[in-house]
Amino acid sequence: MRLAPTLCLLLCIPLIGVQPNVVLIMADDMGWGDLGCYGSKQNSTPHIDRLAREGMKFESFYATQAVCTSSRCALLTGSYPNRLGLGGTALPPKSKVGLSTDEQSLATLLRNGGYRTGIVGKWHLGDHPKFLPPAHGFDESLIVPYSNDMWPVGYFVGDKSRKQMYPELRWIVDGIPFGAIDDWADMDNLTVMQGFRATKFIRDNARSGKPFFLYLATSMPHTPLGASKDFKGKGPTPYAETLADLDDVVGYVLSALKTQGVENDTIVIFTSDNGPWLNFGRHAGVTGGFREGKGTTWEGGVRVPFVVRWPNMIKRGISTPALAANIDILPTLIAACEVAGPVKPIDGQSFLPLLQGERLTAREVFAYYYGDRLEAIRQGRWKLHLKHDYRSYDDMKPAEHAGAPMKTQVKHTDLALYDLEADPGERTDVHATHLEVVARLQELAAKERAALDAGKRPVGQVPN
C-alpha cells in the first residue's frame, strides 16, 4: 500500500512532544568567513559565536542562489527559485512579479499548524500588496520591501547616483506603508529598529499558549552600511562596526527568549542569504578563502554560515561537513514542528535526522543555478563547473569614494572539476585526470536540469 507524501512524512516524524518555537535569523550579504565561529579575527560576533558553541555549525551550507530575491524565495518555499520564476533576481520597487500566492510558504505551513507567525526586516519577494507578507502566511510584519541600497540617498554621504533611480524606502507594517528610512541617521538605526520589533514579537507571543515562528531578516550588512551609536566609528572597518551592531541585536533576541522562559523550547537558526558583495571593499565581508563572491556559483558566492541551536535536541558544539542548503530549511522545520508539508513538490530535503544525531549526512547532490542557468553541480567532494560566464571580483581598482562599488569583470570558465575536500578554494582544475567523475556529474546535471524544467510553475504577476 502506498501512502500520500504528507501522511508518510507525519508517520515518520519522531514524537518530539511540544511543538518548538522557531526563530530564523538571516543576514544580508554576509560572507562565510565573517563570524568569529568561522575564523574571523577582525569581527566581534560573541552572540552568534555562542549559538555555534551551544548548537551545530555547518561547514558546507549553501544559499540556493547568490542574490537577494532568489535566496529568500528558496528559503521560504523549499524550491529552487527558478522553478518558481524568481531565479537570478533582486526585484526592484514596483515590480510586476513576485512570489506567487499559489505557493505555500514556511509561514503559511506553520500558521496552518497552529503557529503565530511574524516577520521583521527585509522582504524582497515583491512590494505589490498581493506579494507582501500578509499574503504569505505572516500574522505580523514590519518590513523593508527590498534591499536598503534601493533608496534615493546613495551609497555614501553626498552620493547623488541613486536619487533618480529609486523612490523613498518605506517601512511597511502588516501590509500598510508606515514611515520611511529617509537619511543616514535612519540607516544607522535600521538594525536596532528591526531588533526592537523582533524582541517585541517574542515578548508578545512567548506566553500566548501557541508556538511562534519569527523570521528576522536583517537588512544589514548589505551596503550602504549603518551602525548604531554604540558601534559607529569604533571598529577596525565600517563592516566590522555594522556586524557588531547586528550581533548585538542577536544577543537581545537570545536574551528575550531566556527572559520569557522559552529558550529551551526554541529552535534558533542563523544564516546569510548569499556571500559577500566583494566590490565594496572595506564595506563588504569576506569569503574565508573561497573563490569569488555574491552573484556567482563559485563557493564564495553561495557557501554561507549556518548555525542552529535547539537545546536538549542538538548536541552542543558540533561542527558538521554535511552538505545542505537553504531549500532544506523548510522541510526540516516542518518535520521538527510536526506540521503538514506543502501540497506541491519541493526541492528541499529534511536534515532533521542529522540534527538529532541519527545520521552524519544530509543531501547528496546540490545544483548551482544562477538565474535559470545550471552552472555547476556537486556530489560529495566533487564539484563540476559547466561552461559559463561569470562576474569576477579579481583585480578591481579602488573606488573614488569609500562605500562606493568598484567595477567587476566578466570572465569565462570552461568545463572544470574541483575536489572541494582537497581544494575548497577551487584553484586546481582536475577534470583531465578524473574523466569518469566528469562523465558521471555531466549525466547527473542533465537529470537535474530535466527534472527542474518539467516542474516549473508560474511566477506571481500583478494583473494588468
The pLDDT tens digits for 137-149 are 999 999 999 999 9
Asked if pLDDT for residue 2 goes beyond 70, the answer is no
Q: Same domain for 99 and 231?
A: yes
**C-alpha cell belonging to residue 153:** 540617498
Do 247 and 387 reside in the same domain of the chain?
Answer: no
Residues acting as catalytic residues: 68, 124
Cβ 380 vs Cβ 348: under 8 Å:
no
How high is the pLDDT of residue 16?
Answer: 44
Query: What does the pLDDT average to over 436-452?
Result: 98
Query: Is residue 2 in some structural domain?
Result: no
Residues 262, 383, single domain; the answer is no
Note whether 126 and 143 are same-domain residues.
yes
Q: Which 8-state DSSP code applies to residue 303?
A: B
> pLDDT by residue (tens digit) across 22-37?
999 999 999 999 999 9
pLDDT mean across residues, the chain: 95
Sign of CA dihedral 39, 42, 43, 46: positive
pLDDT at 5: 43
| CA of residue 383 relative to chain centroid, distance | 22
Identify whether the C-beta of residue 354 lies closer than 8 Å to the C-beta of residue 383. Answer: no
Last-in-domain residue among 333, 364, 395: 364
Domain-located, residue 9: no
Same domain, 152 and 288: yes
- Considering the domain architecture, whether residues 57 and 180 belong to the same structural domain is answered as yes
CATH number at residue 414: 3.30.1120.10
CA distance 115 to 98: 25
Q: Are residues 194 and 232 in the same domain?
A: yes
Residues in the chain: 464
| Same structural domain, 335 and 380 | no
Distances (CA, A) of 149 to 165, 166, 222, 266: 11, 9, 8, 33
Query: CA nearest 212: which of 172, 175, 271, 253?
Result: 253
Question: Nearest-5° angle of CA 374, CA 222, CA 127?
Answer: 75
Rounded Cα–Cα distance for residues 247 and 90 (Å): 25
Asked whether the beta carbons of 216 and 25 are under 8 A apart, the reply is yes
| Whether residue 201 sits in one domain with residue 187 | yes
pLDDT digits (tens, 9 = 90+) for 166-197: 999 999 999 999 999 999 999 999 999 999 99
What is the C-alpha separation between 36 and 42, in angstroms, rounded? Answer: 8
User: Does residue 318 sit within a domain?
Assistant: yes
Cβ burial of 425 (10 Å; 0-12, 13-18, 19+) is: middle
Pairwise CA distance, residues 438 & 441, whole Å: 5
Cell 579575527 -> residue:
41
Residue 227 maps to a domain: yes
Position 8 in a domain = no
The domain boundary, picked from 341, 364, 387, lies at 364
Tell me if 274 is assigned to some domain: yes
| Adjacent-strand bridge partners of 366 | 378
Residue 104's SS3 state is coil
| In-domain check, residue 10 | no
Nearest CA to 66 out of 358, 351, 393 is that of 393
- In a domain, residue 12? The reply is no
Residue 57 in this model has a pLDDT that exceeds 70: yes
Task: Judge whether residue 320 has pLDDT over 80.
Answer: yes
Among left, alpha and beta (phi > 0; psi -120 to 50; other), residue 29 is left
Q: Quick one: pLDDT band at residue 136, thresholds 50, 70, 90?
A: very high
Domain count within the chain: 2
Same-domain pairing of 360 and 394: no
- Residue 182 cell numbers, joined: 529617509
What's the pLDDT band for 81 if we cut at 50, 70, 90? very high
Q: Is residue 457 domain-shared with residue 318, that is, in the same domain?
A: no
Could you please report the per-residue DSSP string of 414-453? -SEEEETTT-TT-----GGG-HHHHHHHHHHHHHHHHHHH
Identify whether residues 378 and 358 lie together within a single domain: no
**430: domain range?**
369-461
Last residue in a domain, options 346, 364, 382: 364
CATH of the domain at 49: 3.40.720.10
Greater pLDDT, 6 or 345: 345
